[in-house]
Chains A and B, each alone.
Chain A
């Protein structure tokens, strides 16, 4: 009898191909991880990757096209774009991670209150989230930066707070579905205390999907932050923050495409890598542990 019981139903057999398809294609994942590894290196030890001093002027070689000497070309003051991109990684990533940290922390608080708070609290917080949602991220950032003046810090907060309400929603949903899940009821039936249930079931199950969100959010934050830099509301030159690089390069687009195109590609690459990883994590979580 038990043989039947253990046999995997054919439906499973039909599903596996789909499951495999849903997950990020291994190739893509490998590439993404590789890219992230590079970015990580640039983050902690830019010296290892850089070929020039990112700040050093070389007026003789101004606006040099990409070449074996200058992989990504040079800018109007003859600075090596590749090295600047490498050194810019730290600034960009720190902003991206910082903004993500800010937004997720805020989102957690709001989401938790909205889901677990009493009727009044939940209602109020939900409204607050609605109001925040009515502020497009960039508009919010514009206002905040106008108040605090442009700096990496204000960028972090502007983007962080700006993107918080969206995540707050997701988290609220997560917590609610955990709260109303069968396993929580089962725990209640076992006579566990609310605190224990919150600690053991609701929080972990609600927070777990955030791993994926974090990855996604870092990419998006960097894009938003760079948009601010682009509007001249970002970090100060000569900082090689990617958005700032792009903004500075835009003037030369017709003569020196690389100053605009390459930093843009780098930003996209990072966003893409982070997202791919995030999605992969999401899928693994969906499929459950093996």
Chain B
């Protein structure tokens, strides 16, 4: 359910930043000759303040990753590596996973980490402790038992080859059972007890969360750059909503790291010697899904015409200051395993084709404003978007650009910004309310396709299928991919699915969602978590 996490990621975001390539991640820790100074306090400027440290929002995952350890972690090459779990294995029927836990790990409340505790955490998530974690497990997870103190078995009801990949996300941080059982909701909300590199010291609401080093830390993930306790003493996790202020605070030296660098500030900061880290979140990109159940887009020709009438690339690159990456693929982002170039390149701007397609579709008339008509009705397209939440300021400008471009070929696009409150209240969620759904959805694997395109049935409706139409052929490809164990074969199937989506113009991509950091030259080895992005401060240290 990462979309909703990204919902909040974007919630207060006013400037979005991006990477042109994944290689950017490499720039995270340039070899440095400068001498390391132990200790110090990292002042980190983040854009949004969540209600709790642990929970179903990506904002919370970012914090959880500092305070809680997961079972497994994801490295730069998208390989699952050990964390609290030293090793794991899957039974041949793919229904039983066995994790072997690190030895001698204790939570910061002194209680030891045991298989039983982890099992308890699984059930805790499913019981609503973490709505997002439960969404990833629901439908597959059956039970978890502790075989002994260090051996945990997780039983599935259906094969789930990518279970480990998904467990790398911040939502699966392991908490102290004692803490969960004995402390109040409020305490667990504000300062969950984990075994992580940092501990929540206190939270000045509206201003900052202060994290202090866990002096007994023993359990870094395998992809960390060192072992033992973190280098820095403390992190001041400040909440600075305004992107301009954030960027300025970095240049002014009031912060050492900022999240979500405004596109416009990118070059300035770069030339000022700051390290910029761009991470393209895998999963679904910022894309447009057409409502194929009703309205003009029932006709495939009209959908394709719409796609042809747009010059998405130049729009994104101009407004994105060359920082936000263009994404042609409506299925998954370029950072996702099993990404299809073919699907991405299918529709290059071609107004002639667009016009002929529309003529063929019978939208031959033109009204006073130059919009196409058919049988007296205008080619009117309703495009609601979560203003300031799912779609940030840059996104809005881009949509306005698309609106103008589509106008040229005679589409009347009605942009309707929907405030977050209305969004949560379920406005514009019904087929008859919109023709295009815009949104993105971070995920570790292309498995996200299943969530978006699984068939809905009256008893089990799939609210996440924005086309409001069932495509059995597409679904069968995706489901087959999901349960294919061999990665290459699996990716081949995922690509096929993306191409199907592209050919039938069910959805087209616009740009990729990013997680960006700007880091002071005096701070080294801040890297982004690889499942969803966001800073990891465990390895970070100051230099003279």
Consider the complex of A and B and state whether they touch directly, i.e. have CB atoms less than 8 Å apart: yes
Q: Hey, which bits of chain A sit against chain B, CB under 8 A? A: 55-57, 59, 62-63, 75-78, 145-146, 149-150, 232-233, 236-238, 248, 250-256
Contacts of A236 in B (CB 8 A): 387, 415-417
B91-99, B395-403, B448-456, B516-524: which one contacts chain A? Answer: B395-403
How many Å lie between the Cα of A36 and that of B393 in the bound state? Answer: 32
How many Å lie between the Cα of A63 and that of B40 in the bound state? Answer: 40
- CB pair A57–B417 under 8 Å, yes or no, is no
Determine the residue in chain B with the shortest Cβ distance to A234: B417
- CB pair B421–A76 under 8 Å, yes or no, is no
How many Å lie between the Cα of A254 and that of B247 in the bound state? Answer: 10
- CB pair B264–A248 under 8 Å, yes or no, is no
CB-defined A-B contacts under 8 Å, sample of 14: A59-B315, A77-B315, A146-B419, A150-B417, A232-B387, A237-B417, A238-B400, A250-B244, A251-B264, A251-B394, A252-B264, A254-B247, A254-B268, A256-B264
Q: Quick one: given A56-B404, A77-B319, A232-B388, are A254 and B244 in contact (CB under 8 Å)?
A: yes
- CB pair B404–A254 under 8 Å, yes or no, is no
Contacts of A237 in B (CB 8 A): 396-397, 400, 415, 417
Contacts of A77 in B (CB 8 A): 315, 318-319, 397, 400-401
- CB pair B393–A248 under 8 Å, yes or no, is yes
Q: Quick one: given A59-B314, A251-B393, are A149 and B404 in contact (CB under 8 Å)?
A: no
Q: Does B243 contact A (CB under 8 A)?
A: yes
Contacts of A78 in B (CB 8 A): 318
Q: Quick one: given A57-B404, A248-B393, A254-B244, are A238 and B415 in contact (CB under 8 Å)?
A: yes
19 extra interchain contacts, Cβ-Cβ under 8 A, other than A56-B404, A62-B319, A236-B415?
A59-B318, A59-B401, A63-B264, A76-B318, A77-B315, A77-B318, A77-B319, A77-B401, A149-B418, A232-B387, A233-B419, A236-B387, A237-B417, A238-B403, A250-B242, A251-B264, A255-B264, A255-B265, A256-B264
Residue of B401, B405, B427 with most partner-chain A CB within 10 A: B401
- Per DSSP, are chain B's interface residues mostly helix, strand or loop, or mixed? helix
Shortest Cβ distance from A251 into chain B, in angstroms?
5
- CB pair B248–A150 under 8 Å, yes or no, is no
Q: Quick one: given A149-B419, A236-B416, A254-B247, are A76 and B319 in contact (CB under 8 Å)?
A: yes
Determine the residue in chain A with the shortest Cβ distance to B262: A251
- CB pair B400–A255 under 8 Å, yes or no, is no
- CB pair B314–A150 under 8 Å, yes or no, is no
Q: Does B34 contact A (CB under 8 A)?
A: no
How many Å lie between the Cα of A219 and that of B268 in the bound state? Answer: 38
How many Å lie between the Cα of A253 and that of B427 in the bound state? Answer: 33
Determine the residue in chain B with the shortest Cβ distance to A232: B388
Contacts of B319 in A (CB 8 A): 62, 76-77
Q: Quick one: given A77-B400, A233-B419, A248-B397, are A253 and B318 in contact (CB under 8 Å)?
A: no
Contacts of B417 in A (CB 8 A): 150, 236-237
Contacts of B419 in A (CB 8 A): 145-146, 149-150, 232-233
Q: Does B507 contact A (CB under 8 A)?
A: no
- CB pair B315–A255 under 8 Å, yes or no, is no
Residue of A55, A57, A237, A250 with most partner-chain B CB within 10 A: A57
- CB pair B14–A251 under 8 Å, yes or no, is yes
Sorted nearest first, the 5 A-B pairs with minimum C-beta distance are A238-B400, A59-B318, A255-B264, A232-B388, A236-B417
